[in-house]
Structure 1
Amino acid sequence: MKKVLITLLVVAFSVMVFSLKEMVVVEKGSFTMGDTRNVGASDEKPTHKVVVEYDFYIGKYEVTFEEYFLFLEASGKANDIEIVEAEAKTIPVTNVSWWDAIAYCNWLSKEEDLPVAYRTFGEPDEGQLLDFEGNTTTDVSKVVGYRLPTEAEWEFAARGGNLSRGYIYSGSDDFDQVAWHPSNSGGEAQEIGKKIPNELGIYDMSGNVWEWCSDWHTLYTDSVRINPYVDTGFLKPVRGGSFGDDVTCSRVSYRGYVYPESANDFFGFRVCRKAP
């Protein structure tokens, strides 16, 4: 596991339980996925209807260094941390690969006595989703534990779900209201929740750090998709742009995609789970 740079003191941590108060419900519904403004790249087209048949929770904020440290400590990996200063414990965690992010999700599920959502790295069927009985599945609606949002879930939530006002960024057409980017970030990730939220009350889905998605990258088609989940591929979607990227990357329809082993100062994540 790569060494993670954490900007806080170990003594600052206390036992905490992830709370649904830190999550927002996204009610089932449908939306048009892709470049509805006709300003995007070719992989944001064709636009197509997506139907989400279940309610789900998504993190109000990106997962922070503080939260991620608890996972490392519980996993006996606290020595992977380089501690520099006692500030900014609510900065989004970065330098985490997709595999690191799903390991955190599984740990969080176990902490709350939920079935884990993933086969982890090195296991048979590694990376595959698991249903409530522990069987591999491609039906995301049968997954109970904490996980990363699918690309469709991410975009539905970023657009504001059923409350969407059609903004180009998550919560506004003015990127400075909602996004940390090169012109206002000082070249580093910023504390969560300091910009305005989107229509659902979710923060930082535009800018700050790229967010890993659960499924694999694939090209769009114009067919209607119901509860879409892409279970094979080579690259993982990352969404939302970051503090170091041009604001075009912060558009709700913009698609990034990288190898799941990738980890750098720009990649973080937020958690998701199906509503009971």
Structure 2
Amino acid sequence: FSDALNCIMQVARGLEYAHRQGVIHRDVKPANILVDDQGDLKILDMGLARLQQPDDVILGGETQPELTSSQFFMGTIDYMAPEQARNTKLADHRSDIYSLGCTFYFLLTAQPVYPGETTVERILAHREEPIPRLSERVPQVPSEFNAIFEKMLAKSPDDRYQSVTALISDLEKFSTDYEGQTTVISLDESSQSQVTDANWASAPTEVQPAPVVPEMTMLASTSEQQMANSAALPKRGLLWGGLAVTTVILIVAFSWKPKMTERSVADSDVAADSSTINLNGATVAPLQQTYAARMKLPVKVEVPIGAGGTRVKLELMLIPPGIFQMGDRMGTSAESDAPLHPVSLTRPYYMSSTEVTNEQFREFVNATNYQTDAERSGGYGMTGGNWVKTMDYSWKNLGDLPVQDQAPAVSISWNDATAFCDWLSDKTGDRYRLPTEAEWEYACRAGTETPWFFGEQSDQMDQYAWFLNNSDGRVYPVKQKRPNTFGLYDVYGNEWEWCQDYYSPGYYSVSPVENPTGPAQGRERVRRGGGFQQPAAQLTSYVRGHGVPETPSRGAFRIVRETQLD
């Protein structure tokens, strides 16, 4: 329910924008709502839209400026308001609100509000049948939401919300009140086809009507038969729309040929570390070995972080400097992943070989008595096979799922992750922080230019990641899958990883080439790598996620240690 509610709030904001421009959509339905690979919802197919006109023009029968030349009966019956079915030209912004309510019902039930065998039966049902009580049809829906739903589906436009703005206000108020209650995310196969494609990047983001982009995900089908046909999608991957690319951007490609820096590395704890290189040569990139030997640096560093006699260590891998192409080289992903652009990282750094584990995070909490955002405002755990949000759950209590020492610490916010870095910096005297987004992608790619560091196709994902096809809806201990050639484990899947940068969808267009650190300000922070709920298609090296810094949803992290240079 919470995921469907989030979807509808995003679509409502998009409709609010359209209505302010005087545009009425007239065909709001699941098939016209698509999810990009950031989890942001886009309202597409404005082919039935028309410009809003004053009531006297509509009632007077004057010609209206249509955004389509069709003169036929227009709309989709299962989502059409009664007045629109009676006369298409009577449809106004309140008709879109009705259609949005029908769409919400479909997302929750995979059925239309008023099923029927014939067009006439369904039209009459929308006009005459009582509005179903949503909480009785879907047990997860609180009864308090019934009034909002019934007002969206009121038979008379005058009894509905008179603007999408008023609807959004009620949705936001309800969402705030609902936040403290238990949220159930079903993981059974039947529910995956309804919500999985929509909830993989949960942080709500403002949406406006968007231009056609080449790779999007259908939120839902328009009929029960289509829904049945799409039920297997979570196993096969997402249904990617074959939308035409309307603009071709020619980009001069840079080969990934890292340039060795001539600057020497200062004598430091890194250079003096006595750790030995015990990784197999096939595991470590040749560049990594060559650079390490040239600069007299260890490829792997183990940093003791345990208190007293504990033997808890943090394993770090050397990432050499270099130049690479950041973003989607094919130009087929969401706008925020493009354009492809060159990035030069001029300094080496060390990155943790795994996401920070429960064992490691516990050392920080025990030393500082730190309380995470999830402990203060609620986190996620598993109950009866479902992920549930309550005040009882946090990184140290995942409900039915055991908190394993070597599993990544989850339900971690960006604030929590940076607090861990600050503690470790104070403890060791070195500077630890979250990786910049550029550092994360460079380390993930490990010298490759393909969508996945293991190749052009995702068919090997099971060897490298815990994701939708093999995770059974949960996280797993680190190092159970194969690493990339820099020796980094679980960079795809298991759980999303926080980065240092503020998030901006247009940042790539203005990013500096050398050592980019993201926008100077913003509301959300970047997340990378995807999680256990994502299909392989959404776990590329370049896909960007984002979320507000206080949210524990889809939160894990790995860290970077800076290397001092002359």
TM-score under structure 1 normalisation? 0.76
Secondary structure (helix, strand or coil) at the match of 2:361 reads: helix
Does residue 311 of structure 2 align to residue 30 of structure 1?
Answer: no
Task: Give the structure 2 partner of residue 110 of structure 1.
Answer: 426
Kindly provide the CA deviation profile for residues 77-135 of structure 1, in whole angstroms up to 9, marking residues without a partner as x.
48964487876211111111100000000111112123xxxxxxxxxxxxxxxxxxxxx
Greater RCO, 1 or 2 (C-alpha within 8 Å, sep 6+): 1
Provide the rounded CA distance (Å) in 1 between the counterparts of 2:511 and 2:411.
36
Provide the rounded CA distance (Å) in 1 between the counterparts of 2:422 and 2:533.
29
Larger Rg: 2
Secondary structure (helix, strand or coil) at the match of 2:502 reads: coil
1:1-276 to 2 correspondences below 5 Å: 15-16=310-311, 18-19=313-314, 22-77=315-370, 81-82=396-397, 88-114=404-430, 145-160=431-446, 164-172=447-455, 173=457, 174-218=460-504, 219=506, 220-221=508-509, 225-230=513-518, 231-264=520-553, 266-276=554-564
Provide the rounded CA distance (Å) in 2 between the counterparts of 1:222 and 1:198.
29
Secondary structure (helix, strand or coil) at the match of 1:67 reads: helix
Provide the rounded CA distance (Å) in 1 between the counterparts of 2:412 and 2:517.
22
8 Å CA contact 1:171–1:196 kept in 2: the answer is no
- Per-residue deviation, 1:253: 0.4
- Per-residue deviation, 1:39: 3.3
Provide the rounded CA distance (Å) in 1 between the counterparts of 2:312 and 2:500.
23
- Per-residue deviation, 1:14: 6.1
8 Å CA contact 2:444–2:541 kept in 1: the answer is yes
8 Å CA contact 2:326–2:542 kept in 1: the answer is yes
Secondary structure (helix, strand or coil) at the match of 2:323 reads: strand
Secondary structure (helix, strand or coil) at the match of 2:466 reads: coil
Secondary structure (helix, strand or coil) at the match of 1:62 reads: coil
Greater share of helix residues, 1 or 2?
2
8 Å CA contact 1:170–1:205 kept in 2: the answer is no
Provide the rounded CA distance (Å) in 2 between the counterparts of 1:182 and 1:255.
18
Provide the rounded CA distance (Å) in 2 between the counterparts of 1:211 and 1:76.
23
8 Å CA contact 1:181–1:246 kept in 2: the answer is yes
Provide the rounded CA distance (Å) in 2 between the counterparts of 1:86 and 1:244.
18
Letter in 2 for 1:269: F
Kindly provide the CA deviation profile for residues 161-187 of structure 1, in whole angstroms up to 9, marking residues without a partner as x.
xxx233322445422221211110111
% identical equivalent positions: 33
Provide the rounded CA distance (Å) in 1 between the counterparts of 2:531 and 2:560.
20
Provide the rounded CA distance (Å) in 2 between the counterparts of 1:214 and 1:159.
18
Change (3 A) 1:78 1:99: closer
5+ unaligned residues in a row in structure 2: which ranges? 1-307, 376-395
- Per-residue deviation, 1:15: 2.6
Alignment length, in residue pairs?
228
Secondary structure (helix, strand or coil) at the match of 2:470 reads: coil
Secondary structure (helix, strand or coil) at the match of 1:268 reads: coil
Secondary structure (helix, strand or coil) at the match of 2:363 reads: helix
Secondary structure (helix, strand or coil) at the match of 1:214 reads: strand
8 Å CA contact 2:502–2:523 kept in 1: the answer is yes
8 Å CA contact 1:61–1:193 kept in 2: the answer is yes
Change (3 A) 1:83 1:96: closer
5+ unaligned residues in a row in structure 1: which ranges? 1-12, 115-144
Secondary structure (helix, strand or coil) at the match of 2:354 reads: coil
Q: CA RMSD in A?
A: 2.3
Provide the rounded CA distance (Å) in 2 between the counterparts of 1:50 and 1:78.
37
Provide the rounded CA distance (Å) in 2 between the counterparts of 1:256 and 1:53.
25
Task: Give the structure 2 partner of residue 9 of structure 1.
Answer: none
Provide the rounded CA distance (Å) in 2 between the counterparts of 1:202 and 1:57.
11
Provide the rounded CA distance (Å) in 1 between the counterparts of 2:444 and 2:485.
9
Provide the rounded CA distance (Å) in 2 between the counterparts of 1:175 and 1:58.
22
Provide the rounded CA distance (Å) in 1 between the counterparts of 2:542 and 2:353.
19
Provide the rounded CA distance (Å) in 2 between the counterparts of 1:208 and 1:202.
13
Kindly provide the CA deviation profile for residues 43-89 of structure 1, in whole angstroms up to 9, marking residues without a partner as x.
11111000001001111111001110111111124896448787621
Task: Give the structure 1 partner of residue 214 of structure 2.
Answer: none
Which segment drifts farther, 25-34 or 214-223? Answer: 214-223
Letter in 2 for 1:166: E
8 Å CA contact 1:69–1:78 kept in 2: the answer is no
Provide the rounded CA distance (Å) in 2 between the counterparts of 1:148 and 1:217.
14
Provide the rounded CA distance (Å) in 2 between the counterparts of 1:188 and 1:170.
24
Change (3 A) 1:170 1:267: farther
